[in-house]
Structure 1
């Protein structure tokens, strides 16, 4: 960590408390003058820091901006989120995370941006990513699992995002198979998992997560207003995005470590419990065919099971799923 990151972490470790300049200089391994200069830089970055003679410095308020220092401060995970690469504006965090992973970025590396100009979802669909309103991030992981099990990671991520939203906002959320998070009948989050592998091993996965956090109605273009929403619109309260990301990292590491040790069963149970899809009549478009029927369950591998009008069960591995009124 650099000196600014160490100072921010010290403030997070002592919320509402004064920390003396001497203590900060010892913690940072620099002079008190250097501490003062870095405090001034933090103020320019939007941090409100109170300075009182003989008492020291106290953090009053932090800006709502996504920086490596703000996210790693107070984060108690072993791996997930311990390295953060933050940008102001990018085309998309996904290729940047893939590039970092290809160069050896450690598991848990998080790439995020305040704004994406070319964010993408599944099937190459554009993802609206305005500046300063959302959580646009990509996570690098390196699971030692067989190639056929990698789609389970998308379901694990959806379960984790849903849990984080409930914990941070109290909002009821549902998961649309396999990668969307809904509040009511509107989408609030999309997940895109991309794989780099050889014939017999996974090199890494890059999980892209886009969450409409603090968007207001005016932020959505007309074509999205009827189908998309945000955590702020639904809860009536702004989301502290850095705190949300820290909580996601904690929950993801917990679920991921459990999955690697014990398998998919817990993810399957949680996914079905929070499913927007199970029990609904669906229209499924795969590369080769169109299928209509009722989504009845996930199988033990995470494949969607759809029962058609004849009672036949079909396994859906990858498809575009739409919903229609029950027959």
Structure 2
């Protein structure tokens, strides 16, 4: 994280080459105000005034930082979460150069997409973290519905699909101290307005964008505003213990239930199974070939044709 923060400030010419080595001995948190100031500078595509003018939230997005380019909004969010960022603080970037998705996979984030992270300063039990990812997926789908996407679905645990292709992904990370969760960082990427041909070959076939599905460009700033509003609604529900309602919504949008999948769990052999549903804890319930049931808490589920 330290190198990324220094490189971000260097890229924006906040430091000269001559001083870079000297900064290695400086306390990283001393750069917090510089990063916050940088996140309030004018940007070309993602516009603060367009997002906040009609934003109907109490906390989410009230503190907002927008960058032209960062390596990862989640990394910047982690840094700011340790430096007095408010609950609901949002970090946006017009482009990411080295973002990571779930299980350490590379996440390509060109201009024309929506790349953001939300800081939650909330006391959440470790067992409830999967539910936050599911709730965020519901918020993404509801926001997309409001701009005309009526067929988005959620692939367990963190992908949003349209017509069998990925349009959005979610990465939830917990910042812990002495086994206690201090902050939660929720990263969300939405492929909005760009040609998938600019992505690497292995991603092109399985990726779609909102402008492709709708046949016209979308307003990224409007979608950001809509998502932040939907996220606040469902996170209030989460904080109030409305887990059954969240699961009900998730099941309605599920892309995984009723599918044959290959399950790849960490440190276990992969196996095929039929997805029966989702448990109250947010685990995927899979019936294996031999008829036994498994609850998949972490790992990957590959849909099989």
TM-score range, shorter chain: 0.7 to 0.9
Structure 2 residue aligned with 1:72: 52
138, 141, 153: which one aligns with 1:159: 138
Per-residue CA shift, 1:150-191, capped at 9, x if unaligned? 111000000110111111123311111000000011100010
Structure 2 residue aligned with 1:277: 256
RMSD, aligned α-carbons: 1.6
**Runs of at least 5 residues in structure 1 that lack an aligned partner in the other structure:** 1-44, 46-62
Distance (whole Å) between structure 1 residues aligned to residue 215 and residue 171 of structure 2: 27
**Bigger Cα displacement from structure 2, 275-284 vs 136-145:** 136-145
- Greater C-alpha Rg: 1
**Bigger Cα displacement from structure 2, 71-80 vs 226-235:** 71-80
208, 223, 232: which one aligns with 1:244: 223
TM-score where L is the length of structure 1: 0.77
Per-residue CA shift, 1:191-245, capped at 9, x if unaligned? 0000012356321110111110011244333332211010000111111111111
CA contact (8 A) 2:196 2:207 kept: no
Structure 2 residue aligned with 1:19: none
Structure 2 residue aligned with 1:306: 286
Structure 2 residue aligned with 1:168: 147
1:182 aligns with 2:161: yes
Structure 1 residue aligned with 2:85: 105
Q: 1:267 is paired with a residue of what secondary structure? A: helix
Distance (whole Å) between structure 2 residues aligned to residue 291 and residue 222 of structure 1: 27
What pairs up with 1:216-235 in 2 under 5 angstroms? 216-235=195-214
**Bigger Cα displacement from structure 2, 224-233 vs 167-176:** 167-176
TM-score where L is the length of structure 2: 0.82
Structure 2 residue aligned with 1:294: 274
Distance (whole Å) between structure 2 residues aligned to residue 154 and residue 262 of structure 1: 15
**Runs of at least 5 residues in structure 2 that lack an aligned partner in the other structure:** 1-41
Distance (whole Å) between structure 2 residues aligned to residue 231 and residue 107 of structure 1: 29
Q: 2:98 is paired with a residue of what secondary structure? A: coil
81, 92, 114: which one aligns with 2:61: 81
CA contact (8 A) 1:72 1:83 kept: no
Per-residue CA shift, 1:274-319, capped at 9, x if unaligned? 1111111111111121222111111111111111122211111101
Per-residue CA shift, 1:34-93, capped at 9, x if unaligned? xxxxxxxxxxx7xxxxxxxxxxxxxxxxx9721333322221210001111100011111
Distance (whole Å) between structure 1 residues aligned to residue 44 and residue 248 of structure 2: 35
Distance (whole Å) between structure 2 residues aligned to residue 218 and residue 126 of structure 1: 17
Distance (whole Å) between structure 2 residues aligned to residue 201 and residue 301 of structure 1: 19
